[in-house]
Amino acid sequence: MTVMAYDLTGRTACVTGAASGIGRACAVLLAEAGATVHCADHDAPGLHETAALIKAAGGTAHTHTLDVTDRAQVTEAVATAAAATGTLDILAAIAGIMHDSPVLETRDEDLDRVLAVNFKGVLYACQEAARTMIAAGTRGSIVTMASGAVDTGGPGLLCYGAAKAAVVQLTKTLATEVGRHGIRVNAVAPGWIRTPMTTRHDESAQAHTESLMVRLAPLGRVGEPLDVAHAVLHLASDAAAFTTGQILRPNGGVAMPW
Ligand code: NAI
């Protein structure tokens, strides 16, 4: 195995949630590895910043302003991404939202919204990507974004954790169904990563949470978006050619499930 296994030259990737945080880091890294990256998000200014970063580094980026909860918009974006080469090689389904509410205070609309973005949004992208890959005979890679919440639980994590657990089940189920086409499907379950999602406006609350995470993590620090992007690159690339249905955990060692 050489570093050539990480070379994505000539491949087409679609990254949802690409306007910010982990999704942006993934889009930039996949482009640095040589892929043409289709960046999708509902935050148009953020998307254009990501595309500008990629282009400034000599990469190729396209933007798709969409809501991942709208199946038709996701279908159109994947079709557009696949139009140039006739296929999609990589999907990184990263868009997500955080929601924090105790079980006894959780309302139907909270659950519906979080499941719509964090689960159905991933499902729609996975379905379209897999259909496109199968039709073109492409031995592609699909990477979904779960969370350490599925390992540890925690107060307030009902909606978010349920959606991420559903993403894990989707990942394993799809991996068993499309493996015979040579398509791999894996999840990444990060620990605490410093992004706009986890950066609080209250600096002292932020410092308190981060110091707790640092104490819990054997590696003694919180994560950065690039830590997760490296995991996504690995799973997207030929370096992970014999890996499917797995959960990769860039979490500093906070959780060590079997
Ligand atoms: P972020 O808030 O920086 O990025 C999330 C992106 O998703 C944003 O660009 C946002 O505009 C986009 N998005 C949200 N709803 C959308 C919708 N309906 N349609 C299209 N785009 C939409 O958050 P971060 O931290 O980068 O999170 C990325 C993923 O990683 C999420 O799925 C999150 O659950 C997951 N994650 C994050 C962790 C962390 O500690 N930051 C830990 C574990 C998982």
pLDDT in tens, the chain (258 residues): 468 999 999 999 999 999 999 999 999 999 999 999 999 999 999 999 999 999 999 999 999 999 999 999 999 999 999 999 999 999 999 999 999 999 999 999 999 999 999 999 999 999 999 999 999 999 999 999 999 999 988 899 999 999 999 999 999 999 999 999 999 999 999 999 999 999 877 788 888 888 988 999 999 999 999 999 999 999 999 999 999 999 999 999 999 998
Task: Specify the pLDDT at position 43.
Answer: 98
Task: Specify the pLDDT at position 2.
Answer: 60
CA 194, CA 132: separation in Å to the nearest integer? 34
DSSP 245: S
151 C-beta closer than 6 A to ligand 1:
no
Q: Which of 123, 131, 217 is nearest to 171 (CA)?
A: 123
CA 145, CA 197: separation in Å to the nearest integer? 14
Exposure of 134 by Cβ count < 10 A (0-12 exposed, 13-18 middle, 19+ buried)? middle
CA of 133 to the centre of ligand 1 (A): 25
For residue 12, which phi and psi values (nearest 5 degrees)? -110, 125
Q: Which of 143, 174, 147 is nearest to 161 (CA)?
A: 147
Q: Which of 71, 68, 76, 114 is nearest to 93 (CA)?
A: 68
**For the chain, first and last CA: distance in Å?**
26
250 C-beta closer than 6 A to ligand 1:
no
Report all structural domains of the chain as residue ranges with CATH numbers, in order of start.
4-196+226-248 (3.40.50.720)
DSSP 240: G
Q: Which residues contact 13 (CB under 8 A, 6 or more apart)?
A: 27, 30, 35, 36, 37, 38, 88, 89, 90, 91, 92, 236
Give just the sign of the alpha carbon dihedral 106, 110, 112, 116.
Answer: negative
CA of 85 to the centre of ligand 1 (A): 28
Task: Specify the pLDDT at position 1.
Answer: 47
46 C-beta closer than 6 A to ligand 1:
yes
CA 121, CA 152: separation in Å to the nearest integer? 23
Task: Specify the pLDDT at position 204.
Answer: 85
- Minimal-distance CA residue to ligand 1 atom 36: 147
19 C-beta closer than 6 A to ligand 1:
yes
64 C-beta closer than 6 A to ligand 1:
no
List, in sequence order, every residue forming a beta bridge with 64; answer none if it has no partner.
Answer: 40
CA of 137 to the centre of ligand 1 (A): 30
Which of 195, 216, 228 to mutate for ligand 1's pocket (most ligand atoms within 8 Å of CB)?
195
Which of 14, 15, 16, 20 to mutate for ligand 1's pocket (most ligand atoms within 8 Å of CB)?
20
Q: Which residues contact 102 (CB under 8 A, 6 or more apart)?
A: 155, 156, 158
For residue 146, which phi and psi values (nearest 5 degrees)? -95, -145
Task: Specify the pLDDT at position 152.
Answer: 85
Task: Specify the pLDDT at position 18.
Answer: 98
CA of 119 to the centre of ligand 1 (A): 12
